[in-house]
Chains A and B, each alone.
Chain A
């Protein structure tokens, strides 16, 4: 048996309404969607997946190092070739020897990852599996597909036993060429739009998968793949559920099409809501479907953040998505090579600082002579807490950004750039100058040992307007796209206002 032992879900903070599309286009082509989530300029499937995975692990108080099987599923990977699980695993501190898989190629990828995770658990080859699903579909701006396209991510922790058991599963496939597809080399998905044919692909494969389940079901809710806000309900009959059961778990009306994260995100939300029995059915064009039956016997630890906090106009939507902006200017001068960036990944992803073996001072990045005592002895690696306090901050306006960041500024607008005093990790704070844990150290003052509790780092602001950052404000770190050069996107931490 396989159980879901924790779930996390994340959507970007931006929302755009159907009305904004109607104003721009004269119509809105995505039926049944009133509002949808939009990724920020510095987000993609990898960063959203990292956000959701971090939440799932936090919910059940697991560390990345506890994970021995990792899957990443998306129909919109930021690169077509290159194993993104290496970077995702490093962001989450998953062991370098953990099993890793990438699932892509259709919106069914998310449930294929769950399927493979179950196989690993049931074969005994994994004890703690982390399934990370994320998507941000892109279509031609006036297509139904783009109007429906949302953005979000969900992560599930699978273990042999836990509060939510997956009691049954089945799959089904039947060839339907010309349903939603993305040709090699293209960024935009497309479909022929043969309405009845598309619907038949959807209902036939979903019906086929559900029919293969061993037992008759009468679930409290039915989580059904949602390419738009109407199609799931057309599959009610095929799935043997009523439309109210589908509506109870639907996220598409407020978030849009979440692609490979559609079923996992709605499933996570349903589990977080304490639902007892769930039927979950995905659909991937081409076409195929996966069906799962779940029964819960207790609360599933969950951290679900599916609310937005900023509404975009259609013009802002085009800017954030980079539809109407240009690429980086040509130039020269300052340059950070990919190998030198790669060497800094422990700092960029995991905030790995150094603690001086002689005087206990923190350093970031941990290289060179100690700031505190000048020793050239190598610092001991220590991870920072991911929270901190703004020490100095500016809002970069037009003319103030390095050229590498011109495309980002063009898309996101003005941004905050700060120096932040990042906190030492809690278990590293009460140490004396020799790095030994100081059992009696006062939790607040630490005056006896004078061990520095913060280290200053420069960081860009995200997830909030630039004027939301002021000297003295508390912030937390999160991983985002920093910039892209030579075709390689460099990911690293940014800061955002600390969440309560």
Chain B
């Protein structure tokens, strides 16, 4: 596998993570004893029933939220546990579910925000770097536009570039292409694939779209319904860069069946649990 070989940073260990929400006495166990690893430079895709705690895990890794027990390590460093929570930083970049470009900044100002605010680059250097990146992915000419002037597909790509310019160890994406139409999604997948093959780094990608999961992932981690644990991990040994005609191949269809069966079981459980709560 080409991807992953060039990068030895961004290894994540998730060990026995439990997260209990207890707002006003309503006890919700979002995650219980959840453990898995993501190797450096691996494209990990997390799928699972809605509300099963995928985002909870992402927030803990990113440093937005704490966990109740367990440990999370990034390259051997403890970043989250009951007593320790490292603040968000540029090593762990997040692309948000609903988009989080700053609406009052132009595309250029958004992309250079990280390097400039960290004082890692001079403004002019950052502008050059950002222009290169935009150019490379064919997004030149939009530097001076505001996010709301762009289609959501372009917004997502800009947001991903804003994360990547910081060269993070891990990029976490929380259902980033939700709500895009099928054609736009295809464009996004190719975009992400190009970026990933160009410079592989650890990806933590949450989605509900199983085609997307298998197409992009080097492994697909299927979570159980709440409290979330790992149900199954499916290795996707397809060649990189992935191409769309793969979606018709037998190996792909077998993988899909495997993932689908696991997801389906959990979805049924989640559905029945929902019915019980109703009753």
A, B: real partners: no
**Chain B residues at the A interface, C-beta cutoff of 8 Å:** none
